[in-house]
Structure 1
């Protein structure tokens, strides 16, 4: 494990100290805002950035870049987007908009500065957990207690976010809960409380919302948990339990059954050449995006170019559907930055995976779950570009990986 030592020099003046303290509290509270409000998340992250500057932490930026692999990999990816502006044919609003969409990559530097203590990191995780409890309460209210006179379509368990984002948040929350349950297994009171909350989160995910992204992430994180906690034979036996869980859900949850059938039909229709399904469209978007990328494979068409490139290619080929988002982060960056962009994205994921093993046991398991979520989720969503997902990823990256300090283990990432 990497020895912990201050990565950021303490603020000097009284005003810098106050700015640092305010930034610390706002960073912690950001964890409570991300699941609840997009507009407040933007306000909070902007204020945290301003306080980072006011506290004089920009003076330590180069030290952070040299010392921390996650800071380095996230800034390299954003820097590539900046370089992509130099050769793009996209209009200024397009490339400016794309730089804005990926600004969450810059938050790692800012968040880690304020999360340089164990107390701050624990408080940030608790803030996120508290927000998820609020989300669950609001979800149950909206699903079961919304007056019948209202639009029946409103009777869904989605109080703050769309189905994709809500289900992702709930799957990540469930993984965090089960990890904490086993980590605190000697504390019976905590185990019972967290287990009850875990059961509620799972019920919400599979019986009250229709987010297939959350379903897939839940099963992937479930597999990871089995191999984290048990020996190989027991973990393999756990696969049978997960399969049994799927079949039980298929016969007890109408919502889950309909979404699973929709997924199966979509794949079957696509194999028959019919792309008129959400699954078929996503596959078509990714395949078309790859063809566009291969017209300029190494550095892509430039930052902000995706919309125009896809429209021109689609019109030339007579495609029925034109998109501005392929729902695939690899292809979104591939069209704009080519293999360079995909390589830097993979480097970011590599640092997530490699340096998770340098963390203490609880954070190591949570960090591995984050790495798996990002790596797999980016095949079906533009996670880094999407605001809530991107902010969540960078927030959790900062919370979990900020204990990494300058040493020989991080020197040659």
Structure 2
């Protein structure tokens, strides 16, 4: 856009009348933002409240003729609505029992929290408060992990947590830290926290992921975060090369420089090679489990490539294909998943499900391109982290991990939308 004066806002005006109970609404946003750094009970409580209260606000706004046109202009809003409709519609042909199907449906459609948080957040100031609460929770979780690493006991550590995990597992925690590092890094320029604090927390989060925790999926997300940060710091004509080369150079350096990283990377190759030779799956062999689950998922997709097997039907179908060893591999009941979000959607909704998930990431990235630079870069980094995590985990479907990504994306989406409406584009 060009011109000597500021151009119109790149997003429609969203300054809706603020309800009198603004403190309750904003308090709920802060609860949701902090909850993803706390035990699962807090996450579940916040999620239910966000769903109920945001839908109530939507109904009140509709009844009073108020329209939040900025949210309607986002691709993300309509893609999320389509996701909810398609998963719910697949109940008509799913072969899963109704309780399992409904449980799976609820876990899938929690992605709508991304836009529901933006429903509750009405101004840029509120969005900044929500992001600050999120950062405070992540900083608390991160520093708690470092205290454990230094041998300092903490009374709030969960009984089920081991090693340097605080409330959940190394997988959840490593993905959280690798993702929140980008938020700390980019938004330091937005004066949401001191610049030095953003740098320190980002470095501590990445080092914790790469050298303290054991999550190998966390490695990939951390490398993605670093690659994007380096890319944005380069001249425009070098950005693509930096994005492609940086992860390989970093991984090579970590493998050669850290015995711990080398051991974990070697283990992946050994487990994968062992499975390729024997097709045997061990309970402690995460790489073999994934490869086996992915193979069965592809076979399941081949059976019904157009409409899929229906919501909640991944486990029954894959167990049927697996045969007599199914329960030993996937466990009792119908609550397993392939540790790969794209294939999970592909089995349940067909090829269209895979395209729909990819479309969600593209839609969020497209919307982010309209935000101010700092928010845009943070949003794109979290979208990329989510997309990468989904390659090796059911990152949106899983409890806690999925809630973390949805809340992170929702808060950044709200910050971008509510900031953009007062941003002028100049020459």
TM range (shorter): 0.7 to 0.9
Query: Would you say how many aligned residue pairs link Structure 1 and Structure 2?
Result: 393
How far, CA to CA, are the matches of 1:346 and 1:369 in structure 2? Answer: 16
RMSD: 3.1
TM-aligned CA distance change 1:374 to 1:62, over 3 Å: farther
Please tell me whether residue 284 in structure 1 is matched to residue 289 in structure 2.
no
Q: Which residue of 2 aligns with 1:82?
A: 88
Please tell me whether residue 131 in structure 1 is matched to residue 131 in structure 2.
no
8 Å Cα contact 2:368-2:380 kept in structure 1: yes
Question: Which is worse superposed, 322-331 or 77-86?
Answer: 322-331
TM-score (ref. length: structure 1): 0.84
TM-aligned CA distance change 1:141 to 1:71, over 3 Å: same
How far, CA to CA, are the matches of 1:167 and 1:52 in structure 2? Answer: 30
**3-state secondary structure, aligned to 2:37:** coil
Deviation at 1:164, TM superposition (A): 1.1
8 Å Cα contact 1:144-1:155 kept in structure 2: no
Deviation at 1:214, TM superposition (A): 1.0
1:23-62 aligned within 5 A = 23-55=25-57, 57=59, 59-60=61-62
1:387-402 aligned within 5 A = 387-402=399-414
Deviation at 1:191, TM superposition (A): 3.3
**3-state secondary structure, aligned to 1:301:** coil
Q: Which residue of 2 aligns with 1:158?
A: 165
Please tell me whether residue 143 in structure 1 is matched to residue 112 in structure 2.
no
How far, CA to CA, are the matches of 1:229 and 1:318 in structure 2? Answer: 49
How far, CA to CA, are the matches of 2:166 and 2:257 in structure 1? Answer: 24
Q: Which residue of 2 aligns with 1:199?
A: 203
TM-aligned CA distance change 1:2 to 1:104, over 3 Å: farther
8 Å Cα contact 2:230-2:242 kept in structure 1: no
Deviation at 1:306, TM superposition (A): 1.2
TM-aligned CA distance change 1:95 to 1:239, over 3 Å: closer
Please tell me whether residue 343 in structure 1 is matched to residue 355 in structure 2.
yes
TM-score (ref. length: structure 2): 0.82
How far, CA to CA, are the matches of 2:27 and 2:302 in structure 1? Answer: 46
How far, CA to CA, are the matches of 1:93 and 1:234 in structure 2? Answer: 48
8 Å Cα contact 1:139-1:157 kept in structure 2: yes
1:350-361 aligned within 5 A = 350-361=362-373
8 Å Cα contact 1:139-1:158 kept in structure 2: yes
Q: Which residue of 1 aligns with 2:385?
A: 373
One of 169, 173, 177 as aligned partner of 2:176: 169
Q: Which residue of 2 aligns with 1:150?
A: none
**Structure 1: runs of 5 or more not aligned:** 148-152, 408-413
One of 96, 101, 114 as aligned partner of 1:95: 101
Deviation at 1:275, TM superposition (A): 5.0
